[in-house]
């Protein structure tokens, strides 16, 4: 029961320092006590807390800009918006916590090995979403593992560089976003190479989309059906598309 007595005594000292200031006066006396005291060998307060707070704010701002203002306006996927933000937060805190143990390169390799075995057992993740996932994880790792050898100017430059490249690729160089749908097609006689234009015209009439290209996948001659991928540019459609989670590239 000695540890319980220690807890009550420490709590009394904290309240005394914060409320009455002790010998140093006011809340500053309490903060000084917190920085020097400990409970069961663990410090109440560490100077690294301010670094944690500062870098967490930087990470949250830049990841928020990437996910909310670069990714979401294009993809319109709220499920990935939640996933990216939470993975960023968890990755940041994991890296910052492990950094305290000074594990070095081994920690970094182990961390990426952990994320390498993450498998989503539902729908496969498109390559673009995987790229954004890697961006989010990479930015969070950089912001968490930066040490005194890396100034805040260098840290901010790295974050701005990632945002700049993402913005340039997403908004300037790749203005047209090609989406695709996977459909099961029953007119199997139109999948022949010589019937491509007839196939495309039939699909455009039945889907109401201006199709850019068509890919033929698995063919089932027993049921006379084939799996097709139809690709189209969202900006070229006459009417707004249903929010059906179409895949984009």
* Residues 60, 38 within the same domain: no
Q: Which of 140, 173, 206 delimits the end of a domain?
A: 173
Residue-number span of the structural domain to which 198 is assigned: 178-248
Side-chain-facing half-sphere of 62: CA atoms under 13 Å: 29
Residue 92 near residue 59 (C-beta atoms within 8 A): yes
* Residue 77: pLDDT band with limits 50, 70, 90: confident
On whether both 141 and 80 belong to a single domain, the answer is yes
Of 244, 247, 245, 242, the closest CA to residue 229 belongs to 247
Residue count of the chain, please give it: 249
CB within 8 A of 188, min separation 6: which ones?
219, 221, 224, 225, 226
Residue 87 tokens, joined: 């993975």
Give the residue-averaged pLDDT of 53-82: 91
Q: Per-residue pLDDT tens for 104-157? A: 666 666 666 666 655 544 567 778 888 898 999 899 989 998 888 889 999 999
Answer whether 133's CB lies under 8 Å from 84's CB.
Answer: yes
Structure tokens at 34: 């917190």
Same-domain pairing of 92 and 159: yes
The verdict on 162 and 56 lying in the same domain is yes
Whether 211 and 204 have beta carbons less than 8 Å apart is answered as yes
pLDDT value for 125: 77
Same domain? For 129 and 56 the reply is yes
Q: Residue 40 and residue 107: Cα distance in Å, rounded?
A: 27
Same domain, 68 and 185: no
Question: 185 - beta bridge partners?
Answer: 226
Q: CA angle at residue 226 from 220 to 228, to 5 degrees?
A: 150
**Both 121 and 210 in a single domain?**
no
Residue 187 has pLDDT above 80, yes or no: yes
Which of 173, 200, 234 terminates a domain? The answer is 173
Same domain, residue pair 54 and 102: yes
Q: How far is CA 41 from CA 3, 11, 29, 123, in A?
A: 11, 15, 21, 47
**How buried is residue 85: exposed, middle or buried, by Cβ count under 10 Å (0-12/13-18/19+)?**
middle
**What is the distance between the alpha carbons of residues 205 and 200, in angstroms, rounded to a whole number?**
9
CB 44 within 8 A of CB 34: yes
Name the strands in the sheet holding 178-185, side by side, starting at the edge strand that comes first in the sequence: 211-220, 225-233, 178-185, 247-248
Do 165 and 130 lie in one domain? The reply is yes
Given 173, 188, 209, the domain boundary residue is: 173
Do 192 and 90 reside in the same domain of the chain?
A: no
Report, in angstroms and rounded to the nearest whole number, the Rg of the chain calculated over CA atoms. Answer: 27
Whether residue 169 sits in one domain with residue 184: no
Note whether 61 and 169 are same-domain residues. yes
Output the pTM of the full model.
0.64
Total domains in the chain come to 3
Distance of alpha carbon 55 from alpha carbon 140, whole angstroms: 9
Q: pLDDT, tens digit, for every residue of 11-48? A: 444 444 444 444 444 444 555 545 556 777 777 777 78
């Amino acid at each position: 029961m000695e540890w319980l007595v220690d807890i009550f005594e420490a709590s009394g000292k904290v309240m005394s320092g914060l409320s009455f200031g002790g010998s140093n006066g006011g809340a500053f006396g309490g903060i000084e006590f917190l920085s020097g005291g400990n409970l069961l060998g663990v410090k109440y307060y560490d100077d690294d807390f301010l670094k944690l707070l500062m870098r967490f704010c930087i990470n949250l701002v830049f990841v928020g800009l990437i996910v909310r203002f670069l990714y979401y306006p294009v993809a319109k996927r709220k499920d990935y918006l939640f996933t990216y933000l939470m993975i960023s937060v968890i990755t940041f805190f994991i890296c910052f916590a492990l950094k305290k143990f000074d594990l070095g390169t081994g920690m970094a390799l182990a961390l990426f090995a952990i994320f390498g075995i993450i498998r989503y057992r539902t729908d496969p993740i498109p390559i673009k979403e995987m790229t954004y996932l890697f961006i989010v994880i990479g930015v969070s790792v950089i912001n968490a593992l930066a040490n005194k050898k890396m100034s805040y100017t260098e840290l901010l430059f790295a974050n701005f560089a990632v945002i700049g490249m993402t913005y340039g690729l997403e908004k300037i160089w790749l203005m047209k976003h090609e989406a695709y749908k996977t459909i099961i097609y029953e007119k199997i006689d139109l999948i022949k190479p010589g019937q491509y234009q007839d196939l495309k015209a039939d699909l455009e009439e039945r889907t109401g989309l201006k199709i850019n290209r068509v890919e033929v996948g698995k063919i089932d001659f027993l049921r006379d059906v084939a799996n097709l991928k139809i690709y189209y540019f969202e900006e070229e459609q006459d009417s707004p598309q249903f929010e059906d989670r179409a895949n984009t590239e």
